[in-house]
Amino acid sequence: MTDQIEMAELHGQPVLKLQTPDGAVALVSLFGAQVLSWTPAGGEDRLYLSPEAVFDGKTPIRGGVPVCFPQFASLGPLPKHGFARTQLWSVTDTRPGKDFTLVTLRLLDNAETRAEWPHAFAAEMSIAIGAGRLDIELEVENTGDAPFSFTAALHTYLKVKEVEAARIAGLRGLEYRDSADGDTSKLEMNDEVIIDDEVDRIYHGMPPALLVHEGHRTLGIHAENLPDVVVWNPWVDKCATLADMPADGFRRMLCVEAAAVREPVELAPGASWWGRQSLVAM
C-alpha cells in the first residue's frame, strides 16, 4: 500500500481508502468490491450510504455502488441481485498516480458461488478516482468449458439533499420497463425526470451522457457497454419496509445506475466482457 491507498476499517469491515494528491477520497469495501463513499476534491460525498446499513460480512451493504452480478434484481432464479455483492474480493492491483488513484479487486468462482450458479468465472472490479470523477469497470471472463449468460448493474446510490429537487436529463425518447406499474412498457416523454413518488424503471438505450441536476450542482453519468439505465427510489411506503434504511432515507438518495439487463450478456468459454460507468462532478 502507499500513502494514496491504505487499508482501513469501517464498522469492523476491511476497506480500502483511496486518495489523490488533489484531495479526492473514496472508500471501497472488500466485501462486495463496493464503493461506499466518493468525495471529489474540494467537494461533498456524492454517494449515499444508509446510516442503518449492516456491516456483518454477510448482509448486502445498503448504499454506495453495489455490484449486481450474475443477476440483476429478481429477474432470474438466483437471490436478488446475485452473489457478487456478498462475496469477499481480493486486491490484485493498486496504482497511485500524479492525478489519479486506481485499485483492482478480483473474485473467482468458489464452492459457494457454484452452489448457486454452476459456472467457472473470473470477475474484476477496477475503481479509479481523479480529476473530479469516479470510474468503475466490471470485467467478467468465462474460465470454464461451457457458455453462460448473465445480467449485471452498477447499482449507484447518489446522495441528494432532497430527492424531489433532483432532475435527471437525457432520458427523453427512451423506452422503459416500469416495475412500479406492473412491469408495463412505456416511453419517456419528459425532458427531465422528476421523482415525486415510487420510481422503479429500466430504461433501454443508455445515451452518451445523463445529467443529474440538484440545486447548484450537477453530476454527469457516462457508461460504456452497459446499454440500460435503472432509476429507482422506494418512496415512503417501500422505504418503511427496508430495515436497513431510516424512514426518511428515500429523501436523501436516488439510484441512477448503468446496467445490462434487457439483453443478457452471453459469454463463450474463454471469452470476456466489460462494462464501465463514470461519474463526473460538475
Cβ-contact 25, 39 below 8 angstroms: yes
Q: How many residues does the chain have?
A: 282
Q: Considering only CA atoms, which of 232, 168, 241, 164 is closest in space to residue 200?
A: 232
Cβ-contact 220, 209 below 8 angstroms: yes
d(CA 180, CA 178): 5
Cβ-contact 279, 38 below 8 angstroms: yes
Considering the candidates 124, 137, 214, 257, report the single residue annotated as catalytic: 257
d(CA 18, CA 128): 9
Q: Which grid cell sits at 98?
A: 500524479
257 is catalytic: yes
Considering the candidates 81, 119, 155, 222, report the single residue annotated as catalytic: 155
**42 Cβ partners below 8 Å, 6+ apart?**
23
Q: Considering only CA atoms, which of 171, 108, 152 is closest in space to residue 266?
A: 152
Angle (CA) 245 249 255, round 5°: 95
11 is catalytic: no
**233 Cβ partners below 8 Å, 6+ apart?**
163, 195, 198, 199, 250, 253, 254, 255
Query: Cell 460525498 maps to which residue?
Result: 45
Q: For the CA atoms of 11, 14, 17, 18, what is the dihedral angle to 10 degrees? A: -140
* Active centre residues (catalytic): 155, 257
